[in-house]
Amino acid sequence: MNTLNNSTGFSPFQLHLGRSQLPTTKARAPIYVSTSFVFNHSADVFENRVASLEGGVAVIGTSSGQSAPFLAISTIASAEDNIVSTSYLYGGVSNSSSVTFKNYGIGVKFLQDDDPVAFEAAIDEKTKAIYVESIGNPKYNVAPISDLAQVAHEHGIPLIVGNTFGMGNYLSRPISLGADNVVHSTTKWIDGHGTTIAGVVIDSEFHDPVLNEAYGSSVFAGKSRVDLMRDLGPSLNPFGAFLLIQGSETLSLRAQRHSNNALALATVLSFGVQDAIGVAGQLIDNLHLASNLTNVGDAKTLSVHPATTTHQQLMIDE
């Protein structure tokens, strides 16, 4: 919408950005069940909206949240390269970093915390990026994004931030803090209803002299789409894009209510469980209102035990 600008605010952005006056409905972005070299319009509307909310120049919608960080890292790292990452990661990303990237010859140096000094010490001539989560899943640690961005830029490499728990930029805005690229599992808060699986890779105008000449200002997104998306195929489907467009329209309302509910619960509920791995599952199974699901950001109340679900592939010491 041409009448919107940076002073308009988050809520109008989430409703209106990403689409022009549509020739069919004049109001809502329909589902375009199509594929062509100009790409799918439903996905394009969603991608443009997320780019505006996050402050990026381009976005690539992906078929899952898991494929987004894989696409981002694979775009800039090749065999014999490495990235430096916190160990405070979503279990799926931790596993792909330890297994799949290893098979591709890409090393991942895991650090025990988000200390910028430790990150700087781990960087070598083969390091292509720093990777962290804005708010760790499930540790809920808050990464010092500005400090890590400074470290990355001093070494001429990008900072990639997983911002899923940043609630679609509502809670955490990595690009404004210096991040170069941002990834999300939009399955979570952006969808908000547990209805589709998808992800995004957001380009903040990553600069590389050679690649910029070939791809323009959105070099990272351009290379990701032309090379990795084309070769591997994890593209966002039209119906998933439609559901994400609907979810994004109420993002700020849900995100604020999620935050209020979490704070209210935290003030009254705090206890530990002995033999947590054995007993925690029983506790969750006996909850009546909360659903036992491995998801977050749903409109419904969910309960999950990461050690036996999202992070079950990790060793005890990990």
Nearest Cα neighbor of 43 from 183, 159, 186 is 186
Q: What's the whole-number mean pLDDT along residues 53-80?
A: 95
Highest mean pLDDT among 6-10, 40-44, 242-246, 289-293: 242-246
Average the pLDDT over each of 21-25, 69-73, 272-276 and give the range with the smallest value: 21-25
Rounding to the nearest 10 degrees, give the CA dihedral for residues 48, 52, 57, 60: -40
Average the pLDDT over each of 57-61, 149-153, 263-267, 288-292 and give the range with the smallest value: 288-292
Question: pLDDT band at 1, cuts 50/70/90?
Answer: very low
pLDDT for 205 equals: 84
Q: What's the whole-number mean pLDDT along residues 259-276?
A: 84
Higher pLDDT pick, 108 / 276: 108
Higher pLDDT pick, 160 / 2: 160
User: What mean pLDDT value characterizes the chain?
Assistant: 87
Give residue for tokens 């540790």: 139
Higher pLDDT pick, 16 / 155: 155
Question: pLDDT band at 250, cuts 50/70/90?
Answer: very high
pLDDT for 311 equals: 73
Higher pLDDT pick, 277 / 50: 50
Question: pLDDT band at 303, cuts 50/70/90?
Answer: confident
Residues contacting 221, CB < 8 A, separation 6+: 57, 58, 59, 60, 201, 202, 203
Please report, as a single letter, which amino acid is at residue 277: I
Q: What percent of the chain has pLDDT over 70?
A: 85
On whether the CB atoms of residues 287 and 114 are closer than 8 A, the answer is no
Average the pLDDT over each of 80-89, 110-119, 171-180, 287-296 and give the range with the smallest value: 287-296
Helix axes 91-98, 67-76, angle to 10 degrees: 40
pLDDT for 23 equals: 59
pLDDT for 8 equals: 63
Higher pLDDT pick, 108 / 137: 108
Q: Are strands 159-162 and 107-111 parallel, antiparallel or unpaired?
A: unpaired
Cis peptide upstream of residue 234 (ω within 30 degrees of 0): no
Helix axes 238-248, 41-54, angle to 10 degrees: 40
pLDDT value at 263 more than 90: yes
Residues contacting 298, CB < 8 A, separation 6+: 188, 192, 193, 194, 291
Exposed e or buried b per residue across 173-207, where buried means at least 16 C-beta atoms within 10 angstroms of its C-beta? bbbebbbbbbbbbbbbbbbbebebbbbbbbbbbbe
Domains and CATH numbers, the chain: 19-248 (3.40.640.10), 261-308 (no CATH)
pLDDT for 278 equals: 72
